[in-house]
Structure 1
């Protein structure tokens, strides 16, 4: 999932931090760990040379024996990040061995840091277990020494044990929890920002697709008529034909320019002083078919409208009304481009909460001038129907090319 959201690199680094896993590059000691090791060992050597021991009464081993655990734990400081469990295990053995010598306080302090590092940089399981296990050890040591020595001073042994083991483990667990919470919050914020950007990109893409459909449906009709009649004027060298074609070309040029201006008005900010522009509806089908008759007169096409919608029905939802109009408009444009001479029939019906639009045009081999098609019109009609939850089909049936769209006619259906 993280890789799909584009966060794989950062999430991988976060999981390396939280899970305690490392790469080959991280096996090199961190410069801070090297500094801790050097300072710790040098401090222990200084205190040993000054004769400062944690227990000078242990004389069964020579004094220099205290330097061995010190050196071992100092070396483990180099592994506190890359191998925290190994460092803690060896460090535990080292601090136990330290108790059989004159003892070095620095060795015990280094052990507390190894305990802390094991919780902070170790695996999640280790980080969960160490505070609990060290707490239990502290309690067991306290009770054991109380039962053995039977003096209140035995409590000090338990306190020291807790300070050496339980306190650093608890501190490391607290710090790790804060780090994990901060990292999780950061990742959630990045995911939220990325999802918001994806939503924005999808919204922009959807708006661009809508604008493309609108531009195609508004202008393609006029440009197709211009292309057909200009081709006819060039191929038929008669003055009356050229004059008629130029008239149609001029009319469609003016109407296409008006449609472009209307689209520009829709795209402009309302705050720039642009007035709201009324969107076309099915009530304008008569005018649309009248324009189609003018444009298709030279191709032997006639256009007939059958509006079977019951009178008194409520108004259609605005998106449905516009989509139905555009589907009829594009179907008429395709008929002007490709249909043979004959009658193009447009039927509109409304029943059972559905609006049905069907356009039948004569299909066959056309010998006269025709405008090229790109297929974008059929794609746009299908998109309009599917976006509203409707159905669309287009294809040849015998000698007829039929376009049929079924759209929801109820407001609730469109909103859903």
Structure 2
């Protein structure tokens, strides 16, 4: 079964009907282009109707319409002719370039140009009269001129389409960047909120459980003191974070982020909460000043590790180590691995995820998990320790070139 022709475009129907009426009006008024032809004036209606029918195919079958239209125009030269037939042919030539295939759009202008030159030279050689050039001019106006006009229009449309596509792609990329920025900001806020508050809430949960389970006034007072201290500090941290989120002005004062200078206070707070923590900081005053993102990541990793030790570790020593090299800061936290003997706060696993994300954002390496105990201070109930290790790289451009004495 042969495929049916597509429905003609509304504009093409209007062109076809209007051209037919105009051609009939010219024919009825006796306005012919030629005289003394082999065929009479009535024969001019055949090419007129054929070309009017081909106007319906100018978009859907442009190359077919051009081939048949060319034959119809040649046949029209043996009749009295009709100006409207010639005009319809120029429109079909134009449409063949605009709506045809890319190869046809390249080939048709070249072909019509060569035909125009050949007709001009041929009629000059035949008539041997300069007026024969007018034949070439007419041929160019009928074929080459509409073809080149079609090339210009098609080129403009393709350029506009390419620009529109680039604009759509740019908008899509902008939307993707916006979504990624929002996702990254939410993840950053989640890490900050977890790291700032989880430590205090874990201590509150553990000590409140101890106060409720032990019938000892001194223990209860000590637990309530720790609960109050962690509540006040946690509330201050929450207010600071809420203030950052609410203040969206660009000229606000920058908020101070935790640095490694605050490790002593962090470890002291962990001891207050009941951990046996030792800080082994091998850095010296001669070491280079670390970039703020590295110090913040190291501080948060140690803070979260101490929180996890408070919630999950069995009784025993917890060791925090810091080793600074020229191009990296190595952080390690070791705690007893096993079931805790006292009250335990539930965990969600978000802490390890947050630590890994912080390290990966800086391009470093992170590992955590149980290992066999190799320390003389002892490990958990099963002889193992939980180890967190992070290597945070430092960009050489962020270091002071005058710094000396830092190991490679």
> TM (normalized to structure 1)?
0.89
Gaps of 5+ in 1: 1-23
Q: 1:275 to 1:138 in 2, by over 3 A?
A: closer
* Cα deviation digits, residues 177-200 of structure 1 (max 9, x gap): 111111211211221122122212
How far is the alpha carbon of 1:61 from its aligned partner?
Answer: 2.3
Q: CA deviation at 1:322?
A: 0.8
Structure 1 residues 131 and 219: alpha-carbon distance in aligned structure 2, compared to 1, 3 A threshold: same
Residue in 1 that maps onto 2:117: 139
RMSD: 1.9
**Can you give the 5+ residue segments of structure 2 that lack an aligned partner in the other structure?**
373-383, 400-408
Deviations 1:232-272 (A, max 9, x none): 12222332222221111111000001111222233343749
How far apart, in 2, do the equivalents of 1:64 and 1:206 lie? 79
Q: How many equivalent pairs are there?
A: 386
CA distance in 2, matches of 1:387, 1:272: 24
CA distance in 2, matches of 1:42, 1:279: 83
Q: Who is 2:30 aligned against?
A: 51
Contact 1:85 1:118 in 2 (8 A): yes
Match of 1:363 in 2: 337
Shift, 1:358, TM fit: 0.4
Indicate conservation of the 8 Å contact 1:266/1:276, yes or no.
Answer: no
Paired position in structure 1 for 2:202: 224
Cα gap change, 1:385/1:26 in structure 2, threshold over 3 Å: closer, same or farther?
farther
Aligned residue for 2:50, secondary structure, equals helix
Residues 138-287 of structure 1: pairs in structure 2 closer than 5 A = 138-269=116-247, 271=249, 275-287=253-265
| 1:171 shift after superposition | 0.9
Cα distance, 1:334–1:126 mapped onto 2, change above 3 Å: same
Find the aligned partners of 1:327 and 1:163 in 2 and give their Cα distance. 80
CA distance in 1, matches of 2:245, 2:231: 21
Tell me the secondary structure at the aligned position of residue 153 of structure 1: helix
Equivalent pair of 2:291/2:398 in contact (CA under 8 Å): no
The structure in which a higher percent of residues are helix is 1
- Distance in 2 (CA, whole Å) between partners of 1:302 and 1:201 is 44
Matched, 1:340 2:325: no
Question: 1:89 is matched with which residue?
Answer: 67
> Are the equivalent residues in 2 in contact too, given 1:317–1:411 (CA < 8 A)?
no
Please say if 1:27 is aligned against 2:1: no
Divergent runs of 4+, >6 A: none
Residue 322 (str. 1) matches residue 283 (str. 2):
no
Shift of 1:63: 2.6
Q: Spell out, residue by residue over 1:260-295, the C-alpha distance to the aligned partner (whole angstroms, 9 max, x if none).
A: 122223334374985433211111111111110111
- Give the 3 Å change call, closer, same or farther, for CA 274–96 of structure 1 in structure 2: closer
| Distance of 1:254 and 1:358 partners within structure 2 | 29
Q: Does 1:392 align with 2:370?
A: no
Q: Offset of 1:48 from its aligned partner? A: 1.5
Q: Distance in 1 between matches of 2:134 and 2:58?
A: 29
- 1:408 is the counterpart of 2:382: no
Correspondence for 2:280 = 306
Distance 2:336 2:98 in 1: 79
Cα distance in 2 between the residues matched to 1:316 and 1:270:
28
Q: How does 1:102-117 map onto structure 2 within 5 Å?
A: 102-117=80-95
Q: Retained in 2: the 8 A contact 1:88–1:114?
A: yes
Q: Aligned residue for 1:41?
A: 20
